[in-house]
Amino acid sequence: MTDLSLAPDIRAARKLRPVINVSGTMTALGASIVVPEAVAAVAAILPEFVEINELHKIASPVIARLTGGEAGFVTASCSAGITLAVAGAMTGDDLAAIERLPDATGLKDEVIIQTGQVVSYGAPVDQGIRLAGAKAIYIGQATSCYPYHLDGAINERTAAAVFVVSHHTVQYGLIGLKQFAETCHARGVPVIVDAASEYDLRLFLEQGADVVLYSSHKFLGGPTGGIVAGSKSLVRSAFLQNRGIGRGMKVGKESILGTIAALEAWEKRDHAAIRATESGYLDLWQRTLAGRPGVATALEPDPTHNPLDRLRVTIDPQEAHITAWDLADALASGARPVIVRDHETEHGYFYMDPCNLHPGEAEIVAARLDEELSKARQSNEIIATPYEKRYAARIDKLLQWPD
């Protein structure tokens, strides 16, 4: 982790709010703290000229070594990786077909995805499929999908199947990756796994994926980018899309080399020590909240089996004098904004993620929790903004950008 005392905070000079991120590896917050090795690599390569395709060649064996794939490359984001991998499954190495996309005339153009995995990561997952010129074929229902749904959807137009690993997806009633891959492979269909925010770099290829996609800027702590890894032929076909629709998703020398550096640092990282530090943060927050009226806490493991816990904070408005979403908004205001994971606050709780903190920030978070809960208890009325107004305000703010 970077020591905040080593350099001035550039956010103040640019009039940006100095947010503390206890939401997680969220792109909207800048994803993660970039590791020093990647920062150094980016700074070193920025003034220099390189042959980009040769730099990609250097990245490929590093990606292959860490993921267990045959090859890999870096692209603009994991979202871009979905589109490129789908396009590669459609065109192969046909350069003329690559230049025609998103016109998919004459190509296999159907891509299967379970309905319960059609979620938004800031944009719809299936839009990444459609950008390649493919048609997304939804199978099963939101909370129920079986192998017969998958087998019944495969036909002569099926180019690939996409499997999404995310805490946003339905976590029950769907086909698991191993069986999903077995069913697809029995019919000659490649499987593309979106594992954007996943910690295990080898699991998904081991379970049957042909191509796996990761964000280099989340758990890896690299610069913004996406990693495409897996079968050499499919990775090559995805890489060749840089001569077509991938041109708008191109990645610079700094992101390629920074990703290489982040991957190499990952091999040397003391993962157990990081987990111990994170556990200390969670313990501090639990002790801060213990015994407070209307506040209950519980440690919950990550739903996709990343090796970390989060603190679930449940709020009883009658006792705490504030709703979970109003507390989240209060924490996000002020001189030291604290951004919690609030996508389920309408159910009366939010989460606190310990994996993106600089030294000293966990204590600031504890102080902010104390401040806002104490302020709410002093209120004669329960602070309860209608949830619908909160959502509407967020959309209105977005539509008014850049004002």
- Band (pLDDT 50/70/90 cuts) for residue 393 is confident
Q: What integer best gives the mean pLDDT of the chain? A: 92
200 or 101: whose pLDDT is higher?
101
* Cα 43 to Cα 46, 91, 123, 254, distances in angstroms: 6, 36, 31, 8
Q: Beta partners for 124?
A: 120
Averaged over 126-140, what is the pLDDT? 96
Amino acid at 299: L
- In angstroms, the CA 271 to CA 142 distance is 35
- Band (pLDDT 50/70/90 cuts) for residue 327 is very high
State CA 197 to chain mean position distance.
Answer: 4
pLDDT at position 44: 95
pLDDT in tens, 241-254: 999 999 999 999 99
- The answer to whether 78 and 213 are in contact (CB under 8 A) is yes
pLDDT at position 280: 93
Averaged over 165-179, what is the pLDDT? 90
- Kindly give, in sequence order, each residue whose CB lies less than 8 Å from that of residue 187, ignoring residues fewer than 6 positions away: 151, 154, 158
- Band (pLDDT 50/70/90 cuts) for residue 13 is confident
- The answer to whether 208 and 160 are in contact (CB under 8 A) is no
Whether 30 shows a pLDDT value over 80: the answer reads: no
Averaged over 37-61, what is the pLDDT? 95
Q: Is 158 helix (H, G, I), strand (E, B) or coil?
A: strand
- Band (pLDDT 50/70/90 cuts) for residue 7 is low
Averaged over 263-271, what is the pLDDT? 90
Give the closest residue to 197 by CA, choosing from 217, 211, 225. Answer: 217
Whether 348 shows a pLDDT value over 60: the answer reads: yes
| Alpha helices for 5-117 (secondary structure H) | 10-13, 36-45, 52-67, 78-91, 95-100
Whether 3 shows a pLDDT value over 60: the answer reads: no
Q: What is the pTM of this model?
A: 0.88
pLDDT at position 12: 80
pLDDT in tens, 98-119: 999 999 999 999 999 999 999 8
pLDDT at position 194: 94
Domains located in the chain, CATH noted: 4-29+270-399 (3.90.1150.180), 36-268 (3.40.640.10)
